[in-house]
Amino acid sequence: MNYKQQLEVIKNLNLKQDHKERTDCPFCHNSNTMLIDTTGNSIGWYCFHASCKAKGKHEGQKTMDYVTKTFSNKKDDTELSSFKVPESFKSPFSHEKAMRYLQNNNCWDSFMMNRADIKYDVAQDRVVFVVKNKYTNECAGAVGRALNKDTYPKWFMYGSKHVPFICGECDDAVIVEDCASACAVSGVLTGIALMGTSLVDTHLAHIMQYKTIYVALDRDATTKSFAIAKELRSKGFTNVKVKALEDDLKYFKTDEIRSIFYD
Ligand SMILES: [Zn+2]
C-alpha cells in the first residue's frame, strides 16, 4: 500500500486531535503494534510489526523521537509498572561471593562508578542488576544471577521484562545477552542486555537513540545476532552492525573491548 492509500486508511480511523495512542494496526491487523500521533498539527503513524511496512507522516516533520515518547507516555502499559525493590536486596559488599562475581565478570568498574545499580539478594543468593526505565526514572525490575549451582534458574527476572537492562551513556550501543556483558562493555559502549537471545518489541523504544547499534550476543549465538540485526533493520534501524565474538564480552577487559569494536 502506498503512502496515499495508507493516509486514507489512517484518516478514516476517527482520530482524536492532539493525541498519541498505540492501537491495532489497520494494515497488518496485529494487535497494539501501531503508534499514531496527531499532536503538532500533523498525523504520524508507525507500525512496529516485523512483517509490516506501514509508516508515514502527513504535514510537519516527525522523527523517531515521537515514537519513543509515545511508548513511554502510555501510562497503562505494563512496561511502565514500577517495581518495588525487595528488602532482601543488600549491598554486594555484604557478600564475598557476590564481590568475586563482579570482579570475575568485569562488572566491578560499572558498579564502582555507579553506571550500574548492583545488589546482592540474600533471599535467593543472587547478584542482582537493577533495571531502570530511563523514561520514567523508575525501577522496572531486576535480573538476578545465581551464585551457586543449585539455584535455578541461573538468571531470574524480578518484575517487568519489558525494559532491557542498560548500562553506560555512550553514543554507540551494543546489544548483548546478559547484564554482566552489558556492564563489561559500558566504559566503551552503552551495554544493552536482552536477558536472552530475542528482541522484545517494547525494547525498541529504549534502543533507538544510539548512533551505531552493534549486536554481539555470546560466542555460541552469532546466528542469532544476525537474526536480530535483520529484525532491527526491518523496523527502520539503518545503523546496525553485527560483531562476531571469540568469547563472551564479560570475559574481556575495557581496553580489549575498545579494540574489538574500534580498532
Ligand atoms: Zn502493521
Q: Which pLDDT score, from 0 to 100, does residue 178 have?
A: 94
Mean pLDDT, rounded, for 229-253: 91
Cα(51) to ligand 1 centroid in Å equals 7
Mean pLDDT of the chain: 85
The verdict on pTM exceeding 0.85 is no
- Selection from 245, 86, 93 nearest residue 176 by Cα: 245
Q: Which pLDDT score, from 0 to 100, does residue 60 have?
A: 52
Q: Which pLDDT score, from 0 to 100, does residue 74 have?
A: 43
Q: Which pLDDT score, from 0 to 100, does residue 7 have?
A: 83
Q: Which pLDDT score, from 0 to 100, does residue 45 have?
A: 86
Cα(55) to ligand 1 centroid in Å equals 8
Q: Judge whether residue 136 has pLDDT over 80.
A: no
In 135-239, alpha helices (H): 179-185, 204-207, 222-234
Residue of 212 and 137 predicted with greater confidence = 212
Q: Which pLDDT score, from 0 to 100, does residue 208 have?
A: 79
Cα(80) to ligand 1 centroid in Å equals 23
What is the percent of the chain with per-residue pLDDT over 70, rounded to a whole number? 92
Count other Cβ atoms within 10 Å, centred on residue 12: 9
Residue of 160 and 214 predicted with greater confidence = 214
- Selection from 78, 92, 181 nearest residue 133 by Cα: 78
- CATH 3.40.1360.10 residue ranges of the chain are 89-262
Cα(19) to ligand 1 centroid in Å equals 19
- Selection from 172, 200, 205 nearest residue 186 by Cα: 172
The CATH number for 89-262, chosen from 3.40.50.2300, 3.40.1360.10, 1.10.10.10, 3.20.20.140, is 3.40.1360.10
Listed in sequence order, the residues at least 6 apart from 10 whose beta carbon sits closer than 8 Å to its beta carbon are 26, 36, 43, 45, 56, 58
Q: Judge whether residue 254 has pLDDT over 90.
A: yes
pLDDT band for 81, please (50, 70, 90 cuts).
low
d(CA 221, CA 198): 11
Q: Which pLDDT score, from 0 to 100, does residue 43 have?
A: 85
Q: Which pLDDT score, from 0 to 100, does residue 63 have?
A: 40
Q: Which pLDDT score, from 0 to 100, does residue 22 have?
A: 83
Q: Which residue has the cell 581496553?
A: 255
Q: Which pLDDT score, from 0 to 100, does residue 203 have?
A: 85
- 3-class state of residue 58 by DSSP: strand
Type of residue numbered 154: K
Highest mean pLDDT among 2-16, 55-69, 140-154, 193-207: 140-154
Cα(9) to ligand 1 centroid in Å equals 12
Q: Judge whether residue 23 has pLDDT over 70.
A: yes
Mean pLDDT, rounded, for 100-127: 95
Q: Which pLDDT score, from 0 to 100, does residue 96 have?
A: 93
Cα(35) to ligand 1 centroid in Å equals 10
Q: Which residues surround ligand 1, an ion (CB under 5 A)?
A: 25, 27-28, 47, 49, 52, 54
Q: Judge whether residue 206 has pLDDT over 60.
A: yes
Q: Which pLDDT score, from 0 to 100, does residue 62 have?
A: 41
Q: Could you tell me if 218 and 248 are in contact, meaning their C-beta atoms sit under 8 angstroms apart?
A: yes
Q: Which pLDDT score, from 0 to 100, does residue 75 have?
A: 40
